[in-house]
Amino acid sequence: MHRTIFLCLGLLSQAQVLADPPPQERQETLRNMLRHDCGACHGLTLKGGLGPALLASDLAAKSDDYLVDTIQNGRKGTAMPPWKPFISEQETLWLVQTILKRH
């Protein structure tokens, strides 16, 4: 009995690094945004354009924090705009982890 509880706690604390997935409808909105809004600069298939490629293999070496910060605040002096007014930090983390295929 106790062992089961500890096992579950262990799994829970590991899972905490993953963002809570937004509700299904919001997930679709965010995926559409990624394709169309982000895709306008990063390419419809995210292979790059005005902005760099955003495929899992391109971003794998970068930390979640760094990527979330870039998306939330944009990059001053470049075309990358801040998305803070449109998506929350949790949603941004979910998006990053979706791009990285961790969800």
Size of interface with ligand HEC, in residues (CB under 6 A): 20
| Token pair belonging to 42 | 């990063």
**Residue (of 56, 66, 58) closest to 97 by Cα position:** 56
Cα angle vertex 76, ends 22, 86, to 5°?
25
User: What is the pattern of x (binds ligand HEC, CB under 6 A) and - over residues 23-62?
Assistant: ----------x---xx-xxx-------xxx-x-------x
Spatial neighbors of 41 by CB under 8 A, at least 6 apart, are: 49, 50, 51, 79, 80
Q: How far is the CB of 59 from ligand HEC (least distance, A)?
A: 6
Does the footprint of ligand HEC cover residue 22 (CB under 6 A)?
no
> What is the contact surface with ligand HEC in residues (CB under 6 A)?
33, 37-38, 40-42, 50-52, 54, 62, 67, 70-71, 75, 78-81, 83
